[in-house]
Structure formats: structure tokens, C-alpha cells
């Protein structure tokens, strides 16, 4: 199921699978591309919410927390790992109102590798200068719930492009693309394939993308971002996340019945 929201200055489309932002146009300019065929949106996980972990887990599929360990199914055979958690593969209930679109998913904790019941609500709203996303997580279980959240928006590329940010460090990966160590930031080469998690300085917490027609600033929910761009592709993913499956990015936690809201803001300036 897809729902579209329109105003005089922009429009966006949300897919129920993964509460995904499938397209976003701002004053007639494509910001988030709509993949063709639509099934490609799900294949690339474009705009999907990623919970309870956004990337691959350390060790491939081991979810470790306070002496306990849960082994996740391997859903990325090329790297022999688990990727993108649960929510990207689940249908959210969508509702449209005068100010935006809300997507809600309730999880009953029935999977043995993530025994924590919870609810996630994702709210999308257009602003005068772009789009805001509000992610509310509620722990409805009786145990402390560990997790990370990621959001997977892709932006279209027109002409020459660059990415800027006050970046401090990055995650180094092994040959299976699982996180190994945190090291000093080594840069982004925009003419090659990019797939790395980067951390902004505490006073930064944003990434900026610029091409020949627009400048996009992403104010993230934490200092961590994943940047993904296949070589010679017409898009790049700027992914805010709370952390990856590595001890240097400790799990977010919620006490039983506790809730928390995370905010991401895409600001768009046209040339």
C-alpha cells in the first residue's frame, strides 16, 4: 500500500512496507527518486526504517547485549550476515491527515532472536524548507530493550556532486562488510563506490549533499550516518542512524513501558 501527501510546495509517497519514503519532490525538483519498477524500492530498501539494527551485526549475525546473545537469520548470503533488522520487511499501518502521514507497526516479540514486544510510529511532515521525520519507539515488553534505528533515504544526483560534514571517525569493515573497528575519518571519494558509516563531531550532527540543482542538509538523530553510493549510480543514500552493531556504538535502550522519539530533518535549497 502507498499513500501520497501533497502541498503547494512539495509532495512525498510512503509505502507501508518498512514505512518507506519512496519519493519526495520539492517545488517540482526530484529529491528522493521514485524507483522503477516500484518493487525496486523494496529491493534497495530506499527510504525504509531499519530496526532493531540498521546495518550488519558484528560477527555477521550475533546480537549481543549484557551477556546475552541472539543469533539472527542470515538474510544477506553474499556476506553471510544479517542486515537491516526487522522493520524493513514488515507492513506498517498508514494514515493520512492534513499535516502529513503516520506509519505504525506493532511487534509482539514472538521471534526468538528478538524477544521484545514494541511499537514504532513514524511521522512524516512537510516543512516550508523541506521534510521532517519523527520516529517514536515504545518498549511494551517487561525487559530492557536494546536496539538501534536507521533510516535509508536515497537522494537523486544531477551533475557533479559532493558531500560535506564535520566528520570525525568512521567504521572499518571486514571482507564480509561487518563492523570491525572505529578509526579516524579517511574521506569520501565520490567517483568510486562508497559504503561506510561515518561519525560527525558532537557539534556537527549533520551531512550536506550538493549537486547542480540542489543542496540538501540532513540533520540526523545522532552523530552517525551511513553513506552508500554504487559506482556511477544516479543516487546516493544518506542514512542517519543511532549506531551500528559494534561495541563503540552502544545499543540504545528503553526500560519497560518507556518510549523515546528521534527526529531527522531534510532541508532543501534549490539553485
| CA–CA dist 77, 170 (Å, integer) | 25
Task: Give the mean model confidence (pLDDT) for residues 177-187.
Answer: 85
| CA–CA dist 185, 199 (Å, integer) | 8
| CA–CA dist 134, 78 (Å, integer) | 33
| CA–CA dist 129, 136 (Å, integer) | 23
> What does the pLDDT read at residue 203?
67
The SS3 call for residue 39 is helix
Q: What are the φ and ψ backbone dihedral angles of 244, each rounded to 5 degrees?
A: -120, 175
The per-residue pLDDT of the chain, averaged, comes to 92
* Neighbour-count burial of 12, counting CB atoms closer than 10 A to its CB (0-12 exposed, 13-18 middle, 19+ buried): buried
Confidence grade of residue 217 (pLDDT, cut at 50, 70, 90): very high
- 118-166 residue pLDDT tens: 999 999 999 989 999 999 999 999 999 999 999 999 999 999 999 999 9
In this prediction the pTM is 0.94
| CA–CA dist 158, 132 (Å, integer) | 23
User: In the chain, pLDDT over 90 holds for what percent of residues?
Assistant: 72
Amino acid at each position: 500500500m502507498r499513500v501520497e501527501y501533497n502541498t503547494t510546495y512539495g509532495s512525498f509517497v510512503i509505502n507501508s512496507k518498512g514505512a518507506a519514503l519512496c519519493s519526495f519532490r520539492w517545488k517540482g525538483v526530484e529529491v528522493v527518486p521514485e524507483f522503477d519498477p516500484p518493487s525496486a524500492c523494496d529491493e534497495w530498501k530506499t527510504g525504509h526504517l531499519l530496526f532493531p539494527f540498521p546495518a550488519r551485526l558484528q560477527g555477521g549475525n550475533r546480537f549481543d547485549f549484557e551477556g546475552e546473545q541472539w543469533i539472527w537469520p542470515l538474510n544477506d548470503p553474499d556476506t553471510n550476515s544479517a542486515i537491516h533488522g526487522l522493520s524493513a520487511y514488515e507492513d506498517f499501518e498508514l494514515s493520512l491527515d492534513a499535516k502529513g502521514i503516520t506509519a505504525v507497526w506493532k511487534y509482539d516479540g514472538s521471534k526468538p532472536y528478538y524477544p521484545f514486544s514494541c511499537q514504532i510510529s513514524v511521522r512524516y511532515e512537510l516543512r516550508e524548507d523541506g521534510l521532517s521525520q519523527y520516529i517514536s519507539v515504545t518498549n511494551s515488553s517487561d525487559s530492557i530493550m536494546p536496539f538501534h534505528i536507521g533510516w535509508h533515504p536515497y537522494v537523486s544526483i544531477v551533475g557533479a556532486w559532493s558531500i560535506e560534514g564535520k566528520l570525525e571517525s568512521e567504521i572499518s569493515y571486514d571482507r564480509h562488510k561487518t563492523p570491525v573497528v572505529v578509526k579516524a575519518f579517511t574521506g569520501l571519494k565520490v567517483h568510486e563506490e562508497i559504503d561506510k558509516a561515518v561519525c560527525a563531531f558532537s557539534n556537527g550532527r549533520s551531512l550536506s549533499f550538493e549537486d547542480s540543482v540542489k543542496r540538501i542538509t540532513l540533520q540526523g538523530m545522532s552523530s552517525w550516518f551511513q553513506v552508500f553510493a554504487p559506482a556511477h549510480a544516479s543516487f546516493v543514500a544518506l542514512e542517519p542512524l543511532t549506531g551500528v552493531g559494534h561495541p563503540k556504538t552502544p545499543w540504545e535502550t528503553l526500560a519497560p513501558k518507556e518510549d523515546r522519539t528521534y527526529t531527522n530533518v531534510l532541508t532543501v535549497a534549490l539553485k
